[in-house]
Amino acid sequence: MSFFALLFALLIEQVRPLGPQNAIHGRLRFWARWVSRNFDAGKPQHGWVAWSLAVVAPAIAAFAIHELLHRFVGWPAAMVWSVLVLYVTLGFRQFSHHFTGIRDALESGDETLARELLARWQLGDASELPRSEIVRHVIEYSVLAAHRHVFGVLAWFSVLAAFGLGPAGAVLYRMAEFVVRYWRHRSHAQLQPASEALQAAASRSWAAVDWLPARFTAVSFAVVGNFEEAIDCWRNHAQRFPDDNDGVILAATSGAVNVRLGGEALRPVFAANGPAGPLAGDLGLEPPVDSDSTPGREAEVQHLRSVVGLVWRSVVLWMVLLALLTLARLLG
């Protein structure tokens, strides 16, 4: 059932993706804000209580609804619920329009437009970036977005669904990823900012939640790309990136498509609580920091198509594996 739920959710999301100003993301922001306002008292234990309520409670609720539907209505209703949860929590179309717009601008030779679109996407200063650096940033942001919006959700959903927990894994991953970004944004708010204890609890939890999915994604990229180079780059150059989990993914991507990643980060230029800030839609990626570069060719526009192929081949690999596991379970 997990395979079919994922398949239907991905197909629906391709046909009718969620808009950036949808009501569901608005409810997520309201929930995270309500929890921090009522349970964040600035102490470490309060931070963990708030994180558990904001992240674990929705995952338990998703599992409970799945079980009730399965027990009292039937498995088709439970699968429909899983499809709805996956439709909200994963999807390429939640970020791919940024990638497509920048790629099309670069292919048409309009580097000025590409810089503007990149700056608008990541709320940073891209005005002085050369063409190769535009491509490099687009690759890095897109790969991380694909991991957080697709592969990470898919990994946690698949693992917990195998233990009979329905779509709880998808909710757990999405909420853990969402609150760490939202509360970091709320730390700059003048009214009831998120405390350091709350941010620390969210960051540490997110690192633990994302540890296994990040390595699943890296292995997938290695399998469908240049395996030897991806594994070698992962082993020897992942530590060049400050974030351990992101470093594993970016290093594997670098080796899989033979492109240099890492270097100077975009500098933020927009106020966090301004009209063009993260709350204009869904929150963006965590602001990157400078890092050392991996070996590989200078980033070129053709690398963008290589990365698209890498990501889609990884999706096919995941779906084939899930289909085989589903078939084995049915036959067994």
DSSP character for 54?
A: I
Task: Count how many domains the chain has.
Answer: 1
DSSP string, 98-132: HHHHHHHHHHTT-HHHHHHHHHHHHTEE-TT--HH
Predicted confidence (pLDDT) per residue in 46-95, tens digit: 999 999 999 999 999 999 999 999 999 999 999 999 999 999 999 888 88
Contact 86, 6 (CB under 8 A): yes
Range of the domain at 269: 2-331
Predicted confidence (pLDDT) per residue in 314-329, tens digit: 999 999 999 998 888 8
pLDDT band at residue 190 under the 50/70/90 scheme: low
CA distance 307 to 109: 20
CA angle 20, 22, 27 (to 5 degrees): 120
Q: Is the predicted pLDDT of residue 200 greater than 90, yes or no?
A: yes
Tell me which residue has tokens 């779509």: 167
Give me the percent of the chain exceeding a pLDDT of 70. 91
Length of the chain: 332
pTM of the model: 0.91
Instruction: Give the least confident one: 26-30, 39-43, 181-185, 283-287.
Output: 283-287
| Dihedral sign for Cα atoms in the order 32, 286, 242, 168 | positive
Predicted confidence (pLDDT) per residue in 210-248, tens digit: 999 999 999 999 999 999 999 999 999 999 998 999 999
